[in-house]
Amino acid sequence: MAFETIIEDGIDILVAGAGLGGTGAAWEARFWGQDKKIVIAEKANINRSGAVAQGLYAINCYMGTRWGENNPEDHVRYARIDLMGMVREDLLFDMARHVDSTVHQFEEWGLPLMRNPKTGSYQREGRWQIMIHGESYKPIVAEAAVKSADKVYNRICITHLLMDESKENRVAGAVGFNVRTGNFHVFKSKTVVVGAGGASNIYKPRSVGEGAGRVWYAPWSSGSAYGLMIDAGAKMTQMENRIVLARFKDGYGPVGAYFLHLKTYTQNGLGQEYESNWFPSLQKMVGKEYLDPEASHLSHRPIPTCLRNHAFISEVNAGRGPIHMVTMEAFQDPHLEEIGWHNFLGMTVGQATLWAATDVDPKYQNPELTTSEPYVMGSHATGCGAWCSGPEDVSPPEYFWGYNRMTTVEGLFGAGDAVGGTPHAFSSGSFTEGRLAAKAACKYIDEGKADGIVVSQKQIEDRRKQIYKPLEHYTTYRNEIVAGSVNPNYINPRQGLDRLQKLMDEYCGGVTVSYMTNEKLLNIGLMKMKILEEDLEKIAAEDIHELLRAWELKHRHLSAEAVFQHTLFRKETRWPGYYYRGDCMKLDDENWHVLTVSRRDPKTGEYTMEKAPCYHLVGKDGE
């Protein structure tokens, strides 16, 4: 193939993926490394990339200590009860104590934050959320990152990390290709901050055909955060903790502002409140520690997201659907009606399009809700991601190995979806994590930890061959058939994605099985995943665009395999409403009040699983 090889050498900090996490890293790195070489490699265009490409109508993580609203430990308590106890409290506390300084900077840069006209403080949507006009959220933070970076490479799909050959388990940069020119790009770097995204589209979506793109998380979130790090042998945590979202049907429009600010509420198809009917039986499954409606009623303690999903799913399965959002009351107020529409236009335009197409005016009709297919990510109400070191002054010994947000691979850092055990970071928290990772990466370099890195020409050449293999495979076998996409020697990326989605759905608890799985199903699924892995060696790409889809699929496959392994390992149902282990339907704190940690051996592909202790900051909820 006649593609050029373009080498960028002598990089100190390589940011792989510049969504909110990556832009935070690039921005902050310049302060701690004023003379350092900072380079960004981004799969799309940094001005509209990542999960915030479309914009946001709220910042969901802001403490407001400035206004006396919340302290970092309040955030820890909130995120931990929402995730049924399974979080990295050191990382949560650390993010929460810095996140406000991030948000205050955003306001200075021009992001329109709404103010409460009475108090002068930011307009709260709920206890943690503040309302913004965030159509240009991403262009604004991108500008900051571009200002700090020496170079920004747009349209580079990073496929693999480079590894040091002088010292085991140390990162040395990354490689990938330009999705427009096809050129091969090599980034030799002392550290890498993975800011790539979590995974949409690894489970079969509810929609079919065209609508497959109307996923909740962006379709370009290809699990590359996990694919890259797993492939490099980094330990992962909580990968079983996939998330299911209760959202407006088909368009997946957000419900947060509706519930919290517009005070809309749900009811079943008979017009009844249904949630509380499911709580007594649910309490038997998870225990009073996790579901105590009375205590929740008296305090700010939320009913965990997954448990509310459980009530939703159970009510629908009992034949009393659909579940409606009661908007007809709130929408009589023209101001609230306008907010309801702006909310969609700011972050999920497709929902507004759908209501326009189906003549759903929420002022006169209560729209339907649904529960989505599962997603694997680490910054919303779920905490998939890499097992990372915490900060020195907070973390216990098991959680600390020298550098904040460093994975178990030396010099490899994470931010946003890439970091495990840190749910509820959202956009502002992901940016903050990027800042923390960047500071630590500078320290790592300054302390000489990146000295003497060796990358052989062979490693680079091997990766080059591997990257272009789908193009060559296509060329080799294309003319064995007359025309069309059916070929006995290969599958194309769409066909591979369909297979992955089908087997994740059926064996790993997707929508068509009401999120149910068990050990037998998981073992069958894992066998099929191995065979899919073999077929992915025979994936064919007709052009460079398909080559992009081929590598996204490989990253999705690696992410999905980790989900299988973790789901198999945790023998309990920790998050009913996200998924169910039918063979162990109860929450089991005696054996499973722990974090799950995995490592995939990069040479053999074998998984090893372990339990890691779950540390808490405080003994009791300070209610």
Stretch 141-200 residues interacting with another protein (CB under 8 A) = 143-144, 147-148, 155, 179
Interface pick for another protein out of 3, 279, 341, 477 (rule CB under 8 A): 341
Number of residues this chain uses to bind another protein (CB under 8 A) = 102
User: What's the rounded Cα separation, in Å, for the pair 281 and 315?
Assistant: 13
Tell me how far apart the alpha carbons of residues 169 and 151 are, in angstroms, rounded to a whole number.
27
- Is residue 61 within 8 Å of residue 426, measured between CB atoms? yes
DSSP type of residue 127: S
Nearer to another protein, 214 or 242 (CB): 214
Residues linked to residue 375 through DSSP beta bridges, in sequence order: 243
Site for another protein in 557-616 (CB under 8 A): 589, 593, 613-616
Q: How far is the CB of 491 from another protein (least distance, A)?
A: 17
User: Whose CA is closest to 559, among 217, 219, 223, 161?
Assistant: 223
Which amino acid is residue 419, in one-letter code? V
Q: Which is nearer to another protein, 420 or 509 (CB)?
A: 420
Q: How far is the CB of 36 from another protein (least distance, A)?
A: 10
Q: Which residue has the tokens 């890498």?
A: 192
Nearer to another protein, 259 or 400 (CB): 400
Q: In 10 A of CB 262, how many CB atoms?
A: 23
Of residues 452 and 619, the one with the C-beta less far from another protein: 619
Question: Which of 8/94 has CB closer to another protein?
Answer: 94
Does 349 interact with another protein (rule: CB under 8 A)? Answer: yes
Q: Which of 115, 127, 133, 167 binds another protein (CB under 8 A)?
A: 133
* 431, 138 contact by CB (below 8 A): no
**Least distance CB 503 / another protein (angstroms):** 19
Rule CB under 8 A: is residue 359 a binding residue for another protein? yes
Three-class DSSP category at 338 = helix
Residues 437-456 that bind another protein (CB under 8 A): 439, 443, 446
Site residues for another protein, window 489-528 (CB under 8 A)?
none
User: Shortest Cβ distance from residue 13 to another protein (Å)?
Assistant: 13
**Closest approach of Cβ 93 to another protein, in Å?**
8
Residue 560, helix vs strand vs coil: helix
Using rule CB under 8 A, residue 393 touches another protein: yes
What secondary structure does DSSP assign to 403-472, as a single string? STTB-SSBTEEE-GGGBTT-TT-HHHHHHHHHHHHHHHHHHHHHTTTTTT----HHHHHHHHHHHHHHHH
The residue among 522 and 595 lying less far from another protein, judged by its C-beta, is: 595
Beta bridge partners of 157: 177
Token pair for 305: 């997201």
- 101 or 489: whose CB is closer to another protein? 101
Residue 225's closest CA among 364, 85, 53, 19? Answer: 19
* C-alpha separations of 623 from 302, 336, 619 in Å: 12, 31, 12
465 binds another protein (CB under 8 A): no
Cβ 527 to another protein shortest distance, Å:
28
Least Å from the CB of residue 63 to another protein: 9
At closest approach, how far in Å is the CB of 168 from another protein? Answer: 28
- The residues near 305 (Cβ < 8 Å, ≥ 6 apart) are 82, 243, 381, 577
Least gap, CB of 523 to another protein (angstroms): 30
Is 285 one of the binding residues for another protein (CB under 8 A)? Answer: no
Cα dihedral 537, 541, 544, 547 in deg (nearest 10)? -30
What binding mask, one character per residue, do residues 21-60 give for another protein by CB under 8 A, x or -?
A: ------xx-xxx-x--------xxx-xxxx--xx------
Distance from C-alpha of 195 to C-alpha of 178, rounded to nearest angstrom: 18
**CB–CB of 429/75 below 8 Å?**
no
Which amino acid is present at 379? S
Q: Which is nearer to another protein, 246 or 409 (CB)?
A: 246
- Which range binds another protein by CB under 8 A, 253-261, 392-400, 512-520, 523-531? 392-400
**Terminus-to-terminus CA distance in the chain, angstroms?**
64
**Contact window for another protein (CB under 8 A) among 136-144, 506-514, 526-534, 566-574:** 136-144
Least distance from C-beta 139 to another protein, angstroms?
8
Footprint (CB under 8 A) of another protein, residues 310-329: none
Should residue 435 be labelled a site residue for another protein when binding is judged by CB under 8 A?
yes
In the complex, what is the shortest distance from the CB of residue 456 to another protein, in angstroms, rounded to a whole number? Answer: 32
How many Å is the maximal CA-CA distance in the chain? 73
- DSSP structure class, residue 235: -
**Cβ 291 to another protein shortest distance, Å:** 13
Q: How far is the CB of 25 from another protein (least distance, A)?
A: 12
Instruction: Rule CB under 8 A: choose which of 21, 22, 72, 227 binds another protein.
Output: 72
Q: Which residue among 346, 383, 429, 525 contacts another protein (CB under 8 A)? A: 346
- Nearest residue (CB) to another protein, 141 versus 568: 141
- Residues 6 or more apart from 542 whose CB is under 8 A from it? 474, 478, 492
Interface pick for another protein out of 238, 366, 379, 395 (rule CB under 8 A)? 395
- Degrees to nearest 5, angle at CA 100 with 121 and 349: 75
**Which residues between 196 and 235 bind another protein (CB under 8 A)?**
207-215, 218-220
In the range 247-276, which residues lie near another protein by CB under 8 A? Answer: 250
Q: Quickly tell me which residue has 């399965």 as its tokens.
A: 317
Per CB under 8 A, which of residues 80..99 are in contact with another protein?
Answer: 80, 85, 89-90, 93-94, 97-98
